[in-house]
Amino acid sequence: MTLLTAQQVMDIIPNRYPIFFIDAVDELIPGEKIVCRKNVTINEHVFQGHFPGEPVLPGVFICEALAQAGSIPLLQMEGFQGKTAYLGGLNKVKFRQKVVPGDVLRLQVDIVKLRKNAGIGYGQAFVGDKKVAEAEMTFIIGAK
């Protein structure tokens, strides 16, 4: 069930094409958790060069998708609405499987720690039931 569309997500985060990676939000608890989707299509510009004849979504794009997802529950909290969440760090990043056109990435981020203007999230990306990537992310909340 879609809770937020891509257009509604663009009202929350500043990212736009070609670096906007959230197609729908399925679950959202402000300050706690998000589950959303990214449809991986052959039309994405990165597949022109990564890799010809064997398109693979770069891991950095998966990390960016997780970061965009993780910023949403923070920016839906009272006091952070209308601001921007910047990625301040990535730790314990692991890639477990290739992501290719036709896959649907399910992005889940749990906010595990909150401070005055920062948060730490644990993100996982899945294709079906298989975990394809995970990362611990630090977010810094700044002015818009």
Q: Residue 33: is it exposed, middle or buried by C-beta count within 10 angstroms (0-12/13-18/19+)?
A: middle
Residue 50 annotated among the catalytic residues of the structure = yes
DSSP state of 89: E
Which is the catalytic residue, given 24, 39, 50, 87?
50
Q: Alpha-carbon distance 36 to 27, whole Å? A: 7
Residue 55: count other Cβ atoms within 10 Å of its Cβ: 19
Q: Alpha-carbon distance 63 to 138, whole Å? A: 12
Which residues are tagged catalytic? 50
